[in-house]
Structure 1
Amino acid sequence: MRLLVIEDEAPMRTALVETLRAEGYRVTSAPDGISGLELACTEGFDLILLDVMMPGLDGFALCRELRKRGRDSAVLMLTAKGQVEDRVNGLDSGADDYLVKPFSLDELLARIRALLRRKDRESTISDEFSLGNARIDLSKRLLVRDGTTLELSEKEAGMLRLLASHPGETVSRERFLDVVWGYHAYPSTRTVDNFIAALRTKLEDDPARPRYLVTVRGTGYRLEP
């Protein structure tokens, strides 16, 4: 899972990054709201830890802008402001949860796990769906096209599930590696390209000119429903 820490206080930012990496997460950090917003809008993150009180662009404004741009990463706000109206403002700006400083690391990690579980449940899809003249059954790992039944490997089925969970959205190569292969395994991003090529031969009428598994140059792939 990929996490983004946006925190302007260097000691806190360093402590969060080191703690989360020790838990097995892939972590990127930003020292201010402007650079954090740019990262959040150009890369795919499962969850964003967002400090509220930052110069330039504060956490409330940043979160509102994220939601305005259609970014659906889970957002956990971190702040020293514990008044009810501040928590309401944070949630109304689009945050999924709100944690008041100082907090225990155990509680922080529990909140993160809960948000990631919720995100996984929200992104579930039916095991059976169609793409053009192809019928796909992810539970059986089968693809039927033009009367021919083809088997899908475990990784191919996992990649299709991830793509189908986010139709029309770009899925980065790193996200494929995180979700399908797992953070403990580190194949190269070229591995993702090879699996996409294999999927295209099964799914596309013309694999050289894909209609459904579309390349997003420099980033990853997108499923066109």
Structure 2
Amino acid sequence: MMNVLLVEDDADIGSMLSRGLKVEGFDVTTVERADQALDTARDINPCAVVLDMILPDGSGLDVCRALRETGYTGPILFVSAKDEVQDRVDGLTAGADDYIVKPFQFDELVARLRTHLLHRSGSSDEHERLIVGRLVLDHETRQAHYGTVHVRLTQREAELLALLMQSANHPVSRGEIFDRLWATQGGVSLNVVDVYVGYLRTKFADITRVGGPLIGTVRGRGFMLDMAGNRSGR
């Protein structure tokens, strides 16, 4: 079981996050102070750290920098009520992989956490396969397999499917998809996400028909690869 170090001094938020992460299959160690965070990280070597920005005895920024200075290479995700652009810049500059503003959707936190862990494991390597349940994505051939059904994808369709698979059963927002796949490409609008989701749904029709996952729309939250294949949202 993957161990997450949760650094949060608000008892209610800490309890909620701890319970939720445990339901999602993580082992969780919770501390409230900066000095405890560093000592505990050395003891348990967590797979990831979820870190508040403001702590009773210091700044989460200092904890993040100290973790990186000790050689810690796992994902660090800030969860903070500080919502200014400079706060996010400071967090990412300190060595964090992500910055989530309170209040937030728990499912989004889990999806981002899993995505960073998968990236660390190298599962997105183009010569490897990404496997979620019976669905297999071969990065080298750009083919998706579900049982005996095979679907050939374009490079960008394969990248989109990989992103959805990495967050399976959890919605990924249009903005996050755009930032991950198109942000560096000039002259492209957010609508491109909907266009490519449409392409992927068309190619997934045969897979969905035999009981495989479908690509659903979660109103107000984005798109999701539903592994149960039973959601009506489109």
SS at match of 2:55: coil
Structure 2 residue 68 is the aligned partner of structure 1 residue 60: no
Q: CA deviation digits over 1:125-170, x for unaligned, max 9?
A: xxxxxxxxxxxxxxxxxxxxxxxxxxxxxxxxxxxxxxxxxxxxxx
Structure 2 residue 78 is the aligned partner of structure 1 residue 92: no
**Structure-1 residue corresponding to 2:106:** 105
Equivalent residues in 2 for 1:1-225, closer than 5 Å: 1-121=2-122
Q: Distance in 2 between matches of 1:34 and 1:8?
A: 12
SS at match of 1:60: helix
Letter of the aligned partner of 1:9 in structure 2?
D
Query: Cα offset for 1:39?
Result: 0.5
Query: Cα offset for 1:56?
Result: 1.2
Q: CA deviation digits over 1:166-192, x for unaligned, max 9?
A: xxxxxxxxxxxxxxxxxxxxxxxxxxx
5+ long unaligned stretches in structure 2: 126-234
Q: Distance in 2 between matches of 1:64 and 1:14?
A: 25
Query: Cα offset for 1:123?
Result: 11
With the length of structure 1 as denominator, give the TM-score of the two structures.
0.53
5+ long unaligned stretches in structure 1: 125-225
Q: Distance in 1 between matches of 2:13 and 2:74?
A: 22
Q: Distance in 1 between matches of 2:59 and 2:124?
A: 29
With the length of structure 2 as denominator, give the TM-score of the two structures.
0.51
8 Å CA contact retained: 2:118, 2:124:
no
8 Å CA contact retained: 1:41, 1:71:
no
* Greater relative contact order (Cα < 8 A, sep 6+): 1
SS at match of 1:77: strand
Letter of the aligned partner of 1:20 in structure 2?
L
Query: Cα offset for 1:31?
Result: 1.4
Q: Distance in 1 between matches of 2:123 and 2:54?
A: 30
- Percent identical among aligned pairs is 39
Q: Distance in 1 between matches of 2:60 and 2:94?
A: 9
Q: Distance in 1 between matches of 2:21 and 2:84?
A: 27
Q: How many residues align?
A: 126
Letter of the aligned partner of 2:15 in structure 1?
T
Query: Cα offset for 1:81?
Result: 0.8
SS at match of 1:72: coil
Query: Cα offset for 1:122?
Result: 8.0
Aligned-residue Cα RMSD (Å) equals 2.0
SS at match of 2:115: helix
Letter of the aligned partner of 1:54 in structure 2?
L
